[in-house]
Structure 1
Amino acid sequence: MTSAEAFVREHTFLTTVPFLPEMKMYLTDEAIPLWEKTEEVTGGPGLAPPFWAFPWAGGQALARHILDNPALVAGRRVLDLASGSGLVAVAAARSGASHVIANEIDGYADAAIALNAEVNGVQIERRLEDLLDRPASDFDAEVVLAGDVFYNREMTRRMLAFLQRCKEAGAIALAGDPGRAYLPRDHFDLVAEYDVPVIRDLEDTDIKRTTVWRLR
């Protein structure tokens, strides 16, 4: 076990996701203490929040949509971008995807994905690198998934450009979003809506109306 995997095990707990009772994940409900602990272990401030430790609304909605509509991914090669805990990647693997790549740039997220894949009994390939400037042909994905990725202008610009390259290469691109300000609605068609339970400390509410979109 890597030190990152040991950290994830120590500072999260194995739990069933209420909106996705088919799945168990290593998660926490205490955002600030975990963030502070991560900075302490790694030697200082400036780290991104521990996105990998929470079931974010966009990812939950996208995972629910996949589990309820497994034909979207069954027998297909899937790429899950900004995978976080691996929630969406696990849902795709459980729904019969022939191969799933979970992509992250955070080493703790990469470790969380490995643990969550193991506990759910699925195989997931992990890519710990920034893929967004790479050509779509590098992955040969038939379905590209992205949950909660439109949270600032620059990320939205890069993510949309990558998803469009994948679409031009023949892939289906789906995104889950809980109403973030930078969602590029003009480029997507709405395919589903869900009322998703969320952590109040993160979203200032207990239930978040969350949507799933398909790139036009």
Structure 2
Amino acid sequence: MKRSGMPRPDPAAFIRANLPISRVPSIPEILLHTAGPASGLWRLAGRRQADAPPYWAYPWAGGAVLARHLLDRPEIVAGRRVLDLGAGSGLVAIAAAKAGAAIVTAVDIDANAIAAIGLNAAINGVTIAVIAANIIEASPPETDVLVVGDLFYDPLLAVRVTAFLRRCQASGIEVLIGDPERTYLPQGDLSRVATHAVADFGANTGAKAVQAGVFSLRQ
């Protein structure tokens, strides 16, 4: 019996072979496997070539601004437990580990992202626990700081994430959000902590500099 279609490649092997290692713009302390025009991500993602690339393959502005902030202000996470929600490439988790966090956990629902986080942690010489799960409907995790970069790009997701973050805050977890003020960011619920100029990546647009913010939840 013939198989239909081509088997998907092993994520870690594909990332090593097709996503070159480069320094993150505005954050030269961190290296990431980052997609380029010839990476052929559609083969790994199992989507059509014309579809948008997966989020984990690029450092987006929300994660970049959080990473920059944690590296500049290591006292925020030093010696504390940190969880990176929707971790993507693992950029923020890596920054937290480099800033001296005691335990860093990266959570994402994409198995390819989980593979990328492991590889990116290794090339930066840090240890990160990775979890492939959707936790936003669950009870607050056991952590001291929860960081969220660029998870407000969809209206329904934004509502669910905000409700989860509220539950986390009520349980005593410090919440920090990084975002370049995308459409569905709930700005009425937030207080700006800092602003940094970072690069933002979009499908087929390359990098562009934006003023992105770090926010906390208002009480």
> TM-score when scaled to structure 2?
0.88
* 1:214 alignment partner, one of 207, 213, 216: 216
Which stretches in structure 1 are left out of the alignment for 5+ residues?
none
Secondary structure of 1:21 counterpart:
strand
* TM-superposed deviation, 1:215: 1.2
Q: Which structure's residues are more often helix, by fraction? A: 1
> Distance in 2 between the 1:43 and 1:196 partners?
29
* Letter aligned with residue 185 of structure 1: Q
Alpha-carbon distance between aligned partners in 2 of 1:157 and 1:205, rounded to the nearest angstrom: 28
What is the aligned counterpart of 1:83 among 84, 87, 92? Answer: 87
Aligned to 1:21: 28
Aligned partners of 1:195 and 1:209 also within 8 Å: yes
1:10 is matched with: 17
Percent identical pairs in the alignment equals: 41
Cα distance in structure 2, aligned partners of 1:81 and 1:197: 20
Which ranges in structure 2 are unaligned for 5 or more consecutive residues?
A: 1-8
Partner SS state of residue 206, structure 1 = strand
Q: 2:43 aligns with which of 37, 46, 49?
A: 37
Residue 3 of structure 1 deviates from its aligned partner by 1.8
SS of residue in 2 equivalent to 1:93: helix
Q: For the Cα contact (< 8 Å) 1:90–1:120, is it kept in 2?
A: yes
Question: Which whole-Å CA distance do the structure 1 matches of 2:103 and 2:51 have between them?
Answer: 31
Q: Are 2:42 and 2:48, in contact at CA under 8 Å, matched by a contact in 1? A: no
| Deviation at residue 47 of structure 1 after TM alignment | 7.9
Structure 2 letter corresponding to 1:170: G
SS at match of 2:40: helix
Greater Rg by CA: 2
Shift in alpha-carbon separation, 1:97–1:104, aligned structure 2, 3 A: same
1:199, CA displacement in angstroms? 3.7
Task: Give the Cα separation in 2 of the matches to 1:146 and 1:202.
Answer: 24
Is the contact between residue 29 and residue 54 of structure 1 (CA under 8 Å) also seen in structure 2?
A: no
Counterpart code for 1:147: G
What is the correspondence of 1:33-72 to structure 2 with a 5 Å cutoff?
34-39=40-45, 42=46, 49-72=53-76
Alignment of 1:1-216 (within 5 A): 3-30=10-37, 34-39=40-45, 42=46, 49-136=53-140, 139-199=141-201, 201=203, 206-216=208-218
| Whole-angstrom distance in 2 between the partners of 1:202 and 1:179 | 21
RMSD: 2.2
TM-aligned CA distance change 1:150 to 1:200, over 3 Å: closer
State the Cα distance separating 1:43 from its structure 2 match. 7.1
In the alignment of these two chains, the number of paired residues is 210
Tell me the distance in 2 between the aligned counterparts of 1:47 and 1:161. 30
Structure 1 residues 202 and 79: alpha-carbon distance in aligned structure 2, compared to 1, 3 A threshold: farther
